[in-house]
Structure 1
Amino acid sequence: MDAPWRQVAAGRGRARGRATAVPLSGNGVPFGGAGGGRAKGSGGAVSSGPGPGGAAALAPAGRGQRSAGGEAPQPPGARGEDGSELMSQKKFEEIKKSNQAAARKLLEEHCSSSSEEEGDEDLEGKQGKIVANTFTTYTTHTDGDIHELERTKQYLNEAFQAGAMTCLICIASVKRNQAVWSCSGCFCIFHMPCIQKWAKDSQFLVSSVTDDDFGKKDYPWPCPKCRFEYKRSETPSRYYCYCGKVEDPPLDPWLVPHSCGQVCEREFKPSCGHKCLLLCHPGPCPPCPKMVTTTCYCKKAKPIPRRCSAKQWSCQLPCGRKLLCGHHKCENPCHAGNCQPCPRVSRQKCVCGKKVAERSCASPVWHCDQVCGKTLPCGNHTCEQVCHVGACGECPRSGKRSCPCQKSKFSLPCTEDVPTCGDSCDKILECGIHRCSQRCHRGPCETCRQEVEKQCRCGKHTKRMPCHKPYLCETKCVKMRDCQKHQCRRKAVAIHVQKR
């Protein structure tokens, strides 16, 4: 049985009322001669040829037309009726649409195919051309050097290899015709529906921990691989290419999958003021290849042109910057950052300047154990602080001073003592329960002598006695010793005396 695109549609003649299929030879000419041997009333022959979608299409031979095999035109009497000609044209259009749909489906399957397609030598050469075109703008700035592109090249190769790009959420391969999302932290690629569901579920789980703030706070969601956190507003909702310029990038077999083919132009990290020169690509951007004029770390050498990604350099001459000790200079070769601590030893004064000792220059600030003794601004007293940094401050007896019970304040010269106010002291005593009943006085308060009802340590007896005294009964202790075999059997009074 011949293929559908080999079938021939015959028109209905005037003498007979049905269509007849005419077999064709290899060159498209009906068997039986170029023009003879036709039955009376037979329809016009149909030519076969390639259709618009890569498949063969059929077309009826009209009046004054020649068949694909060079058949002579039919006389006017051999043409079918007008209605038959319209039906043939309608049938031709249906077959044409069917072939075009089949061709499109074949193209999609070809672009999303897996290992069998990737192993062909033609496709490997094609992949090499695509990668080379992606790196062209970059390599023109590096004179063809692709040493810094190894990491990005690895991501590109994985984008072409079947099964190399796997969604870590559904554990399925990422195909070229599927919408994807790429993490900006680890550059891992996920299916768009998968990452959207992941973000939604993550936010729900975190917000449902407590019922109070459920659905109220803007909780972040993490990347499934690197745990880089994204805000709720950063949840992906549309499919973009790697550089983010084109939404829903079209499927092009001559471009890197999921890329738009335009220059990336993302900011380099760390930022240097330049933008990526590669075409839209997966993975991290390579180091900046631009040429800049820069000097060394210590600024002694003349500026020279260098790559922007390696613009920091050392002239290897001694640094010469003054160290923190203030006496010596840095002898290390030209370096980045702060100089190391001074390794030498020298005689250093203490903070108050009274003592001098051999100390490391790396720690020149040190304190002696003597009281400062400097005269205060009042002129009557001296500083009582131990060797300290900075000014001694005002005299602690100047300004308003409080009486011993802290209830009244007096403005007196620093040479006069603050008198007592005559009110009750009312400070909390050592027992932590009662207050001092004496008048405002200097020095510590007396012991609490109020009688209270106390309970002994074992809790078996109670007795009224002064608050400051503990109550120890004569009962022997029945608690178990550390061995957990014998009782203590000692009196609380004996324990108290032994402790004293």
Structure 2
Amino acid sequence: EIRKSNLAAAQRLVESGFSSSSSDDDEDVESKDGKRGQILASTFTSYNQQTGGDSAGLQRTGQYLNELFQSGALTCLICIGSVKRTQPVWNCSGCFSLFHLPCVQKWARDSVFLVSSVTDEDFGQKQHPWPCPKCRAEYPPSATPNRYLCYCGKVQDPPSDPWLVPHSCGSVCEKKLKPDCGHTCLLLCHPGPCPPCPKMVSVTCLCGKAKPLPRRCSNKSWLCQQICAKVLPCKQHTCSQLCHSACEPCPRVSVQSCECGRERKERPCAEPLWNCTQVCGRPLSCGNHTCEEVCHSAPCPPCPRSVNRTCPCGKTKSSAGCAEEVLPCGDTCDRPLTCGKHTCSRRCHRGNCDTCRQEVEKECRCGKHRKLMPCHKEYLCDSKCSKTRSCQRHQCRRKVNEKTALNVEKRNIKTRLLTI
């Protein structure tokens, strides 16, 4: 009887426990869903106030937030372990994936070590970037994470709050939106990309003819469907296209003046700048000479005879005006000759220096003989050429002097044919 009563009591206890636990689970699921909804609503509140409840731009960000609340949905791709809300993490700014902070630190060190050991000859002296494990976005070694920060980067080691998004500090994100419009993100600290700017601004159309209208900042460009009518760069025609941002080059033809203004001829309006072949001829600032440059639009340069006036050899500077002639200084010229090895031994003189007549030992073309002769002349011996002909079977056997004379004659014939 005692045994029967104990079994009956145990059965009643199991049944009551099962029913209470099932009801508790249902209540937990409902409470979790309600709590999640409250957290998401608080995160999106400031954004929805600007958009009037339109959450079309929050789809991508909402997807990242929903994954945070699903157990086992987030996995560190380095260690293939689940990312928990109490573990320090790092998120990529390119693909917004979450990784364990120690895993990313080890990944960055190993990546830099492997790349430098394979490609760098001076091992360890060059700074190599390390890639994101998922999207391969490159980060410099200085960007290796060493702290656990929230998503917006304001708070270090954010505390785990059951009423906030995991790894979030709970303050407004305030990151600069992309493309840069001057506004910042209005969501609370969140994972994933920032949504488009929701603020309303008053903007005119692309051509600027219509009155400004209130538009969403993330989609503020609009067309008024009127003809642009802006004056084109040619200053003679107007744009005939419908409302647009930048006018295309003028497709018409008009009479355009050259840069110096001496000649005029018909040219495409898209290419108004052109130069004639006449010398400028405008008086220079000195008042004694005229500009000798070909047609140009920039101001004429200073008189070349008044800048850095020196004697012909360049050793002595002079303060004489451009109308006065600078006399030779009487010193040795010492300007380099055409041979590139010697200098002019004459006294300071006008005009070009003579050819180098200094005797030097020269080697012939074939390298068999050496001889003293003037520096400006080439030494050609009377030996026969021992190089192989183009057939690769017979030697040339022609004298170097004869070969040179033939080459000179061929060049002269070619020059005469070209002139004809």
TM-score by length of 2: 0.76
Q: Deviations over 1:133-158 (max 9, x none)?
A: 35455345434434323332443455
- Correspondence 1:361 to 2:280: no
Higher mean displacement: 121-130 or 273-282: 121-130
Q: Secondary structure at the match of 1:448?
A: coil
8 Å contact 1:412–1:418 — kept in the other structure? yes
Taking the aligned partners of 1:485 and 1:175, their CA distance within structure 2 comes to 83
Report the count of equivalent residues: 388
Q: Deviations over 1:423-453 (max 9, x none)?
A: 2222111111121112222221111112211
Q: Secondary structure at the match of 2:305?
A: coil
Q: Secondary structure at the match of 2:289?
A: coil
Give 2:233's match in structure 1, choosing from 314, 324, 329. 324
Cα offset, 1:400, TM superposition: 6.0
8 Å contact 2:61–2:195 — kept in the other structure? yes
- Correspondence 1:194 to 2:103: yes
Taking the aligned partners of 2:123 and 2:140, their CA distance within structure 1 comes to 23
Taking the aligned partners of 2:38 and 2:130, their CA distance within structure 1 comes to 35
Q: Which residue of 2 is the match for residue 383 of structure 1?
A: 291
Give 1:238's match in structure 2, choosing from 137, 144, 147. 147
Equivalences for residues 15-30 of structure 1 within 5 A? 24=6, 26-27=8-9
Q: Which amino acid in the other structure matches residue 346 of structure 2?
A: Q
Which structure has more RCO (C-alpha within 8 Å, separation ≥ 6)?
2
Q: Which residue of 1 is the match for residue 365 of structure 2?
A: 457
Q: Secondary structure at the match of 2:309?
A: strand
Taking the aligned partners of 1:455 and 1:363, their CA distance within structure 2 comes to 57
- Correspondence 1:351 to 2:259: yes
Equivalences for residues 71-470 of structure 1 within 5 A? 129=37, 133=41, 134-135=43-44, 137-159=46-68, 165-201=74-110, 214=125, 222-224=131-133, 225-230=135-140, 232=142, 234-244=143-153, 247-250=157-160, 252=162, 257-259=166-168, 263-336=172-245, 338-398=246-306, 401-470=309-378
8 Å contact 2:158–2:168 — kept in the other structure? no
Q: Which amino acid in the other structure matches residue 341 of structure 1?
A: P
Identity %: 59
Q: Deviations over 1:382-434 (max 9, x none)?
A: 22111112333443333662221112233445444332222222211111112
Q: Which residue of 2 is the match for residue 472 of structure 1?
A: 380
Cα offset, 1:292, TM superposition: 2.5
**Residues 1:380 and 1:258: Cα distance change in structure 2 (over 3 Å):** closer
Cα offset, 1:211, TM superposition: 6.6
Q: Which amino acid in the other structure matches residue 371 of structure 1?
A: V
Taking the aligned partners of 2:394 and 2:63, their CA distance within structure 1 comes to 75
8 Å contact 1:348–1:358 — kept in the other structure? yes
**Residues 1:212 and 1:183: Cα distance change in structure 2 (over 3 Å):** closer
Taking the aligned partners of 1:176 and 1:481, their CA distance within structure 2 comes to 84
**Residues 1:283 and 1:397: Cα distance change in structure 2 (over 3 Å):** same
Taking the aligned partners of 1:126 and 1:478, their CA distance within structure 2 comes to 100
**Residues 1:131 and 1:458: Cα distance change in structure 2 (over 3 Å):** farther
Taking the aligned partners of 2:391 and 2:75, their CA distance within structure 1 comes to 63
Q: Which runs of 5+ in 2 are unaligned?
A: 11-15, 409-420
**Residues 1:416 and 1:172: Cα distance change in structure 2 (over 3 Å):** same
Taking the aligned partners of 2:398 and 2:81, their CA distance within structure 1 comes to 76
Taking the aligned partners of 1:164 and 1:491, their CA distance within structure 2 comes to 89
Q: Deviations over 1:288-309 (max 9, x none)?
A: 1222333333433222222121
8 Å contact 1:477–1:491 — kept in the other structure? yes
Cα offset, 1:182, TM superposition: 0.4
Q: Which amino acid in the other structure matches residue 229 of structure 1?
A: Y
Cα offset, 1:184, TM superposition: 1.9
Q: Secondary structure at the match of 2:64?
A: helix
Q: Which residue of 2 is the match for residue 72 of structure 1?
A: none
8 Å contact 2:251–2:269 — kept in the other structure? yes
Taking the aligned partners of 1:414 and 1:324, their CA distance within structure 2 comes to 41
8 Å contact 1:351–1:388 — kept in the other structure? yes
**Residues 1:213 and 1:235: Cα distance change in structure 2 (over 3 Å):** closer
8 Å contact 1:457–1:471 — kept in the other structure? yes
**Residues 1:236 and 1:398: Cα distance change in structure 2 (over 3 Å):** closer
Q: Secondary structure at the match of 2:57?
A: helix
User: Quick check: which one's helix share is greater?
Assistant: 2
Cα offset, 1:379, TM superposition: 4.0
Higher mean displacement: 433-442 or 315-324: 315-324
**Residues 1:124 and 1:27: Cα distance change in structure 2 (over 3 Å):** closer
Taking the aligned partners of 2:289 and 2:235, their CA distance within structure 1 comes to 35
Taking the aligned partners of 1:197 and 1:393, their CA distance within structure 2 comes to 63
Taking the aligned partners of 1:455 and 1:166, their CA distance within structure 2 comes to 79
